[in-house]
Amino acid sequence: MLRRVELLETWEVAKDVKAFRFDEKLEFRAGQFIMAWLPGVGEKPFSLAWEDFIVVKRVGSFTTKLFELGEGDYLWIRGPYGRGFDPRGERLALVGGGIGIPPLYAFARQNKGKFEHLTLIYGARSREELALMDVENYVDEVVITTDDGSAGREGFPTEVLAEEKGKFDQVYACGPEAMLKAVLKVMDYKNVQISAERYMKCGIGVCGSCNLGKYLVCRDGPVFDGELLRGTL
């Protein structure tokens, strides 16, 4: 059901990335998403970063309009929808790229202190595009990579994963599809869960626009066990 929420605050997280906190706390599982609607503009899916906020990168007309909103303005939402992450094992890695950080942040925050060791491996093109928020409060270790070497290690998060994958019982990943494919390859599709992204209209498995092989991302995902995607992604 579509409902109106008031924005309590917005703040800049990184270059062209903002957080939007609303006045309703949602029961959700890390990895689930909401559909957000603006009258006369359209509707888009966003992963929940926490029970009452989303983190958004400005990339098109909808997000540009969203960026114009501030405290006291209204947003219409429905959800949460989809399949979230399933916590498994004791030594876990979160692998994020760019604006793929929100569901991983939510996972770390929901599961703080529940594992023997939780590592975040997070990459962006440059220092100014790192959208870390306060994730260091919820993980045991943070490894940063940047394409240009302006922060952390120069390179990609998948390079770090390839070197250290033997340390982890389970890997959780969200980011650009090229990165997700690399994560799946490094892990040979085993002991890995990825949050996939596809164009969505309905968010509830009706329209079929978000198909990923035989799956619908909104209904069967957005989180998938790697083994399910062998031969698909």
Residue length, the chain? Answer: 233
pLDDT of residue 40: 95
Q: Is the pLDDT of residue 197 over 90?
A: no
Q: What percent of the chain has pLDDT over 90?
A: 87
What structural domains does the chain harbor?
Answer: 3-81 (2.40.30.10), 91-195 (3.40.50.80)
Q: Is the pLDDT of residue 198 over 80?
A: no
Beta bridge pairs of residue 193:
172, 225
Gap between the Cα atoms of 113 and 9, Å rounded: 28
pLDDT, one tens digit per residue, over 142-152 is: 999 999 999 99
Helix (H, G, I), strand (E, B) or coil at 2: coil
pLDDT of residue 171: 98
pLDDT of residue 205: 81
pLDDT, one tens digit per residue, over 8-26 is: 999 999 999 999 999 999 9
Q: State CA 148 to chain mean position distance.
A: 23
Gap between the Cα atoms of 93 and 192, Å rounded: 9
Q: Is-contact 33 47, C-beta < 8 A? A: yes
Q: Is the pLDDT of residue 199 over 80?
A: no
Mean pLDDT of the 218-227 span = 94
Q: Is-contact 139 60, C-beta < 8 A? A: no
What Cα–Cα distance (Å) separates residue 222 from each residue in 52, 135, 197, 205?
Answer: 19, 22, 7, 12
Neighbouring CB atoms inside 10 A of 185's CB total 12
pLDDT of residue 64: 97
Predicted TM-score (pTM) of the model is: 0.96
Please tell me whether the peptide bond between 222 and the residue prior to it is cis, using omega within 30 degrees of 0: yes
Q: What percent of the chain has pLDDT over 70?
A: 100
pLDDT, one tens digit per residue, over 36-90 is: 999 999 999 999 999 999 999 999 999 999 999 999 999 999 999 999 999 999 9
pLDDT, one tens digit per residue, over 167-187 is: 999 999 999 999 999 999 999
Q: Which residues contact 131 (CB under 8 A, 6 or more apart)?
A: 13, 14, 17, 55, 57, 98, 99, 101, 124
pLDDT of residue 44: 95
Per-residue confidence band for 233, with pLDDT thresholds at 50, 70 and 90: confident
Q: Is the pLDDT of residue 207 over 90?
A: no
Mean pLDDT of the chain, nearest integer: 95
pLDDT of residue 147: 95
Strands of 170-174's sheet, edge to edge? 153-154, 141-146, 117-124, 91-97, 170-174, 192-195, 223-225
* Listed residue (31, 54, 82, 103) closest to 202, CA to CA: 82
